[in-house]
Amino acid sequence: MSHFRPVALEHASRLLNHGPTVLVTSAHGGRRNVMAAAWSMPVEFTPPRVAVVIDKRTFTRELVMAAGAFGLCVPGAVLADATYGVGSVSGRDVPDKFARHGLEPHPGPVLGLPVLEDGCCAWLECRLIAERHTEDAYDTCFGEVVAAAADPRVFDAGRWRLDAGPAALHTLHHLGGGAFAVAGRLVQAGACPSQPR
């Protein structure tokens, strides 16, 4: 039984707008894969759309293009080793990176993509938006978010609550070479003084 709660699609962009490292999941033809990506972001509010960089040479990209869909899972600090591990080897060389790194996905509710909850803060199921330039020249993939959910201990009522949630679920931010920064301290801005126009 999942403890994740559905996230209203109008708040789905907030799951990525603070720049966390994500785990990109994919499945097609009886194969599944997971890889880490440091470059993902929301690009539209309504309908919610995201972008993620998936190198054209990767096994993940092959599965995403064949299936027309991908998942984005937001790992917490507890998954730093697994996140680095799935980003360091190809799914062509390791038959099941989920099993190798102790990750237990379950099928997403709309597209059936593998999504992760244990050790993750949130996930999004995305339908690939066909873009000719993406297929031909660029590594950036665009997707429309069709389902999203988050752990209410760290994301509730459309807002991140990282300072109140367990440290194991604070999001990872890749700095290179296997080093990550961890989000967890929130600073609330005050009201802006009015400016003369």
Over 60: is that where the pLDDT of 134 sits?
Answer: no
Specify if 193 maps to a domain: no
| Token pair listed for 159 | 């807002």
Number of domains in the chain: 1
Specify if 195 maps to a domain: no
In whole angstroms, give the CA distance from residue 135 to residue 191.
45
pLDDT for the residue numbered 163:
86
Res. 93 pLDDT band, cuts 50 70 90: very high
Res. 143 pLDDT band, cuts 50 70 90: very high
Over 70: is that where the pLDDT of 197 sits?
Answer: no
* DSSP assignment string, 77-103: GGGHHHHHHHTTS-TTTSS-HHHHTT-
Specify if 137 maps to a domain: yes
In whole angstroms, give the CA distance from residue 191 to residue 120.
33
Q: Which range among 37-46, 122-131, 187-196 shows the weakest confidence by mean pLDDT? A: 187-196
Do residues 121 and 169 touch, judged by C-beta distance below 8 A? yes
Res. 195 pLDDT band, cuts 50 70 90: low
pLDDT for the residue numbered 118:
97
Specify if 55 maps to a domain: yes
pLDDT mean across residues, the chain: 92
Residue range 103-128, pLDDT digits in tens: 999 999 999 999 999 999 999 999 99
In whole angstroms, give the CA distance from residue 21 to residue 3.
22
| Token pair listed for 13 | 């962009």
Residue range 41-69, pLDDT digits in tens: 999 999 999 999 999 999 999 999 999 99
β partners of residue 52: 40, 141
Specify if 24 maps to a domain: yes
**Domain of 130: which CATH number?**
2.30.110.10
**Other residues' Cβ atoms within 10 Å of the Cβ of residue 88:** 11
Specify if 189 maps to a domain: no
For tokens 């990282």, what's the residue?
162
Range of the domain at 124: 5-182
Specify if 41 maps to a domain: yes
